[in-house]
Amino acid sequence: MQPILKVESISKFFGNLIANSDISFSVNKGEILAILGENGAGKTTLMNILFGHYMPDKGNIYFKNKPLTFGNTGNSISLGIGMVHQHFTLADNLTVLENIIIGHKSLFSLDLSKKASIEKLNSLIDKFNLPINPNAMVSDLSVSEKQRLEILKTLYKDCELLILDEPTAALTPQETEALYKTINNMVKQGLSVILISHKLHEVLSISDRIIVLRNGKIAGEQLTKSADYKSIASLIVGKEIQYPKKTKSLPLNKILKLENIFYETDLDLDVKIENLNLELSGGEIIGIAGVAGNGQQNFAKILSGHVKPTNGKLFFDNKEINTFSAKSFMELGIAYIPEDRNKDGLVGDMSIWENAIMTETSNREIVNNFGFIKSKKSKEKSSKICQLNDVRYQSIDQPSRLLSGGNVQKLLIGKWLNRKPKLIIACQPTRGLDEGAIAAVHKMLLEARKNGNGIIIIGEDLDELITLSDKICVMYNGKLSNPLTSSNIEKLKIGMMMSGEGF
């Protein structure tokens, strides 16, 4: 078979970090090639080089036997490479059609020829069965519609090689299935596909060939029909990771009770919260499942005191809470691990020790009576927190942005655990971490549960939630389902609920 794409010894460095090292492979026409690997293995970097976002430091790429010009998305597109990014690359303030036709005509041509574009778009919509309204504003689309739009964007440009980067990350199991049907349909019509994923069983069911990346290098390659789950899994991880085991739960007294919580604001992007009820005991983990954008952000903001519900009651330790502020909730004993750890977690330009004491500014050990910071004491305390939670660093004075993702998260959780909280709210606590760090974070959370903490984990990764949680609630369109207890936690059922069944 004729390879449509040939990648020859590509290397890419970010500072000292080796993102890709000497990678070579090829893609055949009409083939689905899956690239597997854990977070940080270099999959997305490699694809961004292919598509022209990044410049490689070494190597060559040939597409249809012609060398690729690096660092120029326009060139990759015109050759016939299309990419659906993990995070949607859409402008909310434009329509579906406008998002598609930008870049199709010269920047300086004087008309958009919308009419012809609509015709072409409609024929693609029919051909590949990807229904969407060309004149809808992107801000009004659902997640799966946005995904469809992303695929249409590439088809519209007559793409011959489609790169899909974690396309199912934000989809329910049912939507995932529909997407794979579409992909199969496209391949039948002659398209080649590179599929980036970390979901092994999905890859095994759809791809023709699998390449596994580990630490920026190719760790192995296999035809899917001769591959088995176990051997690929060990290729991905490299070494066996010991995941912590959940011990039997021993729920203590009630810590948190939500009664008919409503929340609505006109400024917000997330959906409104409607009639939320929840009870949580010490020593218990409740997982909140749901597709992102169904009110999880607002829910987390309420639980951490960042916003006040418009209606309803919140009881903490059997007392009704009326003051809502990040600080007062912190003082009550609530720890909040935000979803975006770089934006909301640590101050990257401040040192590790300055970050470690940020929640301790009313502590007299750290700040003296005149408000001056005792830097020696602070550093001692910070070293202790880091040691206890296995945060690895070169110097306690180095800016925290130089820490790896796993160490950032360990420092962040460690800093909060140091306050001995009663309730922990963790949003996507392992997003983007490698397996080792995920195991460490799981261990920290399960340890806290053993110590009698109540924990709420808001997440999208169903497997993780099922492993960690004692109960699972599903959030859909601002509403929360009744908790499912371990006996009736079933992945398929949760998936159905995530797309609105039972609400």
Partner 1 sequence: MIFDFIEIFFTAGFWAATIRIACPLIFATLGEVICERSGVLNLGIEGIMSLGAMVGWTAVYLGADLYSGILLAAIMGALFGFLHAIFTVYLGASQHVTGIGITMLASSIGFFSFRLILPSSTTPPKIIPFEKLDIPYLSEIPFLGEALFQHTPFTYIAFASVIIIFWLLNSTPFGLSIKMAGENPMALEAQGIDVLLVRTLSVILGSSLMAVGGAYLTMSAFDAFYFGMINGRGWIAIALVIFAAWKPERALLGALLFAGLDAYQVRAQQLAGAFIPYQFFLMLPFILSIAAMIVASKRTRYPRALLIPFRRGERH
Partner 2 sequence: MINFRLEERENRNVRIQILSPFIAVFVSLIISCFFIFLAGVSPVDSLKELLIGSFGSRNAIAETLSRATPLILTGLAASIAFRAKFWNIGAEGQLYAGALAVTFFGTGLIELPSILMIPFLFLVGAIAGGLLLLPLVLLKNYFKVDEVVSTLLTNFIIILLVSYLLEGPWKDPMSLGWPQGASVIDQGVLPQIVARTRLHLGFIFSILFAMLVWIILSKHLIGYQIKAVGYNSSAAKHSGIPVLKTIFIVALLSGGMAGMAGVTETAGLKGYLTLDLSPGFGYAGIAVAMLAALHPIGVIASGIFLASIYVGADAMSRSMNVPSYLADVIVAITILCVLVSLVMNQYKFKFSGLKK
Question: Which residues make up the interface to partner 2 (CB under 8 A)?
Answer: 14-16, 55, 67, 69-72, 304, 306, 326-327, 330-331, 336, 338, 343-350, 354, 358-359, 361, 367, 371-373, 402, 415
C-alpha closest to that of 357 among 414, 406, 409, 403:
414
Tokens standing for 395?
């110097």
Crossing angle of helices 173-188 and 143-156, in 10° steps, is 10
Taking CB within 5 to 8 Å according to partner kind, which of partner 1, partner 2, none is near residue 107?
A: partner 1
- Residue 93 tokens read as 């303030």
**Least Å from the CB of residue 60 to partner 1:** 18
For partner 2, the closer of residues 54 and 476 by Cβ is: 54
Whole-number minimum distance, CB 265 to partner 1, in Å? Answer: 12
Find all residues with CB under 8 Å of 156, minimum gap 6, and list them: 100, 101, 104, 120, 121, 124
Question: Within 10 A of 84 (CB to CB), how many other CB atoms are there?
Answer: 19
Residue closer to partner 2 by CB (options 254, 306) is 306
Residue number, 239 or 364, with CB nearest to partner 2: 364
Q: Which stretch binds partner 1 (CB under 8 A): 23-31, 32-40, 95-103, 214-222?
A: 95-103
Please report how close the Cβ of residue 304 comes to partner 2 at its closest, in angstroms.
Answer: 8
Instruction: Pull the structure tokens for residue 54.
Output: 């990044």
Encoded one letter per residue, x for contact with partner 1 by CB under 8 A and - for no contact, window 136-165 reads -----------------x------------
Residue 102 interface partner, choices partner 1, partner 2, none, CB cut-off 5-8 Å depending on type:
partner 1
| C-alpha closest to that of 35 among 158, 212, 177 | 212
- Per rule CB under 8 A, is residue 78 in the interface with partner 1? yes
Task: For residue 370, give both structure tokens.
Answer: 């005149």
CA distances from 326 to 79, 304, 335 (A): 51, 6, 10
54 binds partner 1 (CB under 8 A): yes
Nearest to 464 by CA among 444, 439, 495: 439
Binding partner selected for residue 1 from partner 1, partner 2, none, CB under the kind-specific 5 to 8 Å limit: none
The two beta strands, 285-289 and 217-223, are unpaired
Q: Which does 98 bind (CB under 5 to 8 A by kind): partner 1, partner 2, none?
A: partner 1
Question: What distance in Å separates the CA atoms of residue 376 and residue 381, rounded to the nearest whole number?
Answer: 9
Residue choice 2, 106, 242, 395 for contact with partner 1 (CB under 8 A): 106
Say how many C-beta atoms besides its own lie within 10 A of residue 220's C-beta.
16
The binding track of 263-302 with respect to partner 1, each residue x by CB under 8 A or -, is ---x------------------------------------
H helices within 65-195, ranges in order?
73-79, 96-101, 114-128, 143-156, 173-188
107: contact with partner 1 by CB under 8 A? yes
Q: Select from partner 2, partner 1, none the partner in contact with residue 477, using the beta carbon and a kind-dependent cut-off of 5 to 8 Å.
A: none
Task: Give which of partner 2, partner 1, none residue 76 binds (C-beta under 5 to 8 Å, depending on kind).
Answer: partner 1
How far, in Å, CA of 80 to CA of 160, rounded?
5
Choose, by CB under 8 A, the member of 18, 94, 200, 233 that binds partner 1.
94
Looking at beta carbons only, is 112 or 366 nearer to partner 1?
Answer: 112
Please state the length of the chain. 503
Partner interacting with residue 395 (select from partner 2, partner 1, none; CB below 5-8 Å by kind): none
Q: Which of 27, 101, 445, 484 binds partner 1 (CB under 8 A)?
A: 101
> Based on CB atoms, which residue is closest to partner 2, 13 or 156?
13
Q: Virtual CA dihedral for 140, 194, 162, 96, nearest 10 degrees?
A: 0
CB–CB of 159/80 below 8 Å?
A: yes
Q: How far, in Å, CA of 51 to CA of 71, rounded?
A: 8
- Report the nearest approach of partner 2 to the CB of residue 47 (Å): 18
Tokens 């199709």 belong to 104
Distance CA 174, CA 413 (A): 34
Residues 6+ apart with CB under 8 A from 41: 213, 214, 215, 216, 236
**Does residue 87 belong to the site contacting partner 1 (CB under 8 A)?**
yes
Of 86 and 234, nearer to partner 1 (C-beta) is 86
- The answer to whether residue 89 forms part of the interface with partner 1 (CB under 8 A) is yes
Binding site for partner 1 (CB under 8 A): 14, 45, 51-55, 71-78, 83, 85, 87-94, 98-99, 101-112, 153, 266
